[in-house]
Amino acid sequence: MQSQQDWWRGAVIYQIYPRSFYDSNGDGIGDLPGITAKLDYIASLNVDAIWISPFFTSPMKDFGYDVADYRGVDPIFGTLEDFDALVRQAHDRGLKVIIDQVLSHTSDQHPWFIESRSSRDNPKADWYVWAEAKPDGTPPNNWLSVFGGSAWQWDSRRRQYYLHNFLSSQPDLNYHNPAVVNQMLEEVEFWLKRGVDGFRLDAVNFCVHDAALRDNPANEAVVDSSIGVRRENPYAYQRHVYDKTRPENLVFLEKLRALMDRYPGTTTVGEIGDDDSLTTMAAYTEGNKRLHMAYSFDFLTEKCSRDFIARTVAAIEEKLSAGWPCLAIGNHDVARVATRWGDGDYDARRVTAHLALLLTLKGSVCLYQGEELGLPEAELAYEDLVDPYGIAFWPEYKGRDGCRTPMPWDAGKPNLGFTTGAPWLPAISAHQPFTVATEETQPDSTLQHTRQLLAWRRAHPVLQRGAIQLLDAPENVLLYRRTLDDQRVVIAVNLSGQEVKVPNPGGVKPAALARQPDFLQTDWSGQGIALQPWGVAVGIED
């Protein structure tokens, strides 16, 4: 039996991007009371937890991932009392609450940084990563920002450079300073004391830098990387050996885990953006001394072939032998999966197949808002963009706004029911057929399929926590066995638009599991099964 403390193992976590979820006060920006108002809808999906992207006090240069007060709720989202009410009401509905923590950097408007940059000898002078210029005035080394250009920004007050792995308005904290480590643990504990059930840790492998500030080596094989950085960004032209994923970061993670262990039943899931993300995931989740879970960008790329998925699953199994993965095929940083994995056309059967795959592979799951509706990526004009990443690399890369447009609730209401005011990003007309109100009335909608898949997964521990074994299968078919105790379930997913005959791997019976959705095929014979285009088949093995 799974203990209450291990609820996260195999859980499905629904990610909420609060700016775009639901606006309760008509100012065009989603807020915490808006999330509370939609908790019944979220609970109806049969998910286990919600993850709320940052709602902290912030100048919003990176839309909340630039924190100016780790303990404050930004007024655009509500108040601390609104957050407490949200937690209570979520718990009343059996939903756990996970919040984002951005530990590697702050906003340049944070009081710590304002003090740190004021002089070289103030109490917080060493709280951020400061370095002298080279004799010719250029930056200390060749490190690059994820958002383009040098990772170093000159500060005229101190006459030094400070490090920023992201925007220049997001200075990096100095984790080589014990005072910083202790302070950040206190910031985390503030929210634990308020009853949160865990944290999604943004860019968690960026916390510690190389103290010697050594240059990164060149990347001799430039490809779109596992941090979601594309080849038009110079960041992809380095191997990021010294600016992140330093061994010293493991020491911090062990201190963080010790804190979490003082609050039984809480959890952590780390975002890993790295050149060798699966190896880093393994190190960061090793044993019971670091993170509980981690996910990488491997499934957040444009690659979705059977072979790529199979290789990634096999690598996770090999490398995370002592850890636990969390799987995600979409989030607020990448194009929506219905488009990204869609090969240029939209097919609702394909969307359901990808959801079924996500929910039957081994691991916990992060499900991004709107994925349950099968939302395609929004196409925005350049003048509608607000994401600094997209603005910098337009038109080769259009940024992250297309996956952050407002959640479509009701086609019959202004702005698809998201707000009565002017939305911060357009509520696009292409999303009208995908509103919650519309899909609620359609028995075969993606929303109804998602609910059925999640109820089925919830009813069967083998789908949540069972071991996985990949099996030989025809081209474009992923075939795997999930095993827990004496239960053995075989799942086949056709990742193509053609019917495929799949041989019986041996002993698979045409039997359904309780609450199994009708659209999952169960007609296995001794010879096998004819798998429909984008079809998913499930059987029980002797």
Cβ-proximal residues to 408 (8 Å cutoff; 6+ apart), any chain: 370, 373, 375, 416, 417, 418, 427, 431, 432, 434, 435, 436
Return d(Cα 463, Cα 361) in angstroms, integer.
8
Name the DSSP letter for residue 521. Answer: B
Provide the pLDDT for residue 223: 60
Return d(Cα 436, Cα 45) in angstroms, integer.
12
CB 396, CB 232: distance < 8 Å:
yes
Complete domains list, the chain, with CATH: 4-104+179-456 (3.20.20.80), 467-541 (2.60.40.1180)
User: What angle do helix axes 446-459 and 348-360 make, rounded to 10 degrees?
Assistant: 20
**Which of 96, 35, 92 has the alpha carbon at shortest distance from 369?**
35
Coil, helix or strand for 307? helix
Provide the pLDDT for residue 353: 98
Provide the pLDDT for residue 105: 98
Which mean pLDDT values do the consecutive 10-residue runs of the chain (542 residues) have?
83 98 98 98 98 98 97 98 98 98 98 98 98 98 95 98 98 98 98 98 98 96 58 87 98 98 98 92 95 93 87 94 93 95 91 98 98 97 93 89 98 98 97 98 98 98 97 97 97 97 94 92 96 97 90
CB 484, CB 464: distance < 8 Å:
no
Instruction: Go through the chain and tell me how many residues it has.
Output: 542
**Looking at 66, 271, 371, 401, which residue is catalytic?**
271
**Which of 207, 199, 210 has the alpha carbon at shortest distance from 241?**
210
Return d(Cα 445, Cα 442) in angstroms, integer.
5
CB 324, CB 364: distance < 8 Å:
yes
Coil, helix or strand for 231? coil
**Catalytic residue check, 202:** yes
Q: 199 vs 282, 425, 480, CA distance in Å?
A: 19, 27, 31
Provide the pLDDT for residue 226: 45
CB 457, CB 12: distance < 8 Å:
yes
**Looking at 31, 74, 202, 439, which residue is catalytic?**
202
Coil, helix or strand for 490? strand
Cβ-proximal residues to 407 (8 Å cutoff; 6+ apart), any chain: 20, 21, 22, 30, 369, 370, 416, 418, 436
CB 64, CB 54: distance < 8 Å:
yes
Tokens at 250, concatenated: 């493991």
- Annotate 126-163 with b (16+ C-beta within 10 A) or e (fewer): bbbbbeeeeeeeebbbbbbbbbbebbbbebeebebbbb
Residue with tokens 């990164």: 216
CB 373, CB 337: distance < 8 Å:
no
SS3 track for 361-407: CCCEEEEECCHHHCCCCCCCCHHHCCCHHHHHHCCCCCCCHHHCCCC
CB 155, CB 117: distance < 8 Å:
yes
Return d(Cα 49, Cα 296) in angstroms, integer.
20
**Catalytic residue check, 271:** yes
Q: Where do the H-state alpha helices sit in 56-203? A: 80-92, 111-116, 178-193
Return d(Cα 278, Cα 167) in angstroms, integer.
26
Return d(Cα 351, Cα 336) in angstroms, integer.
11
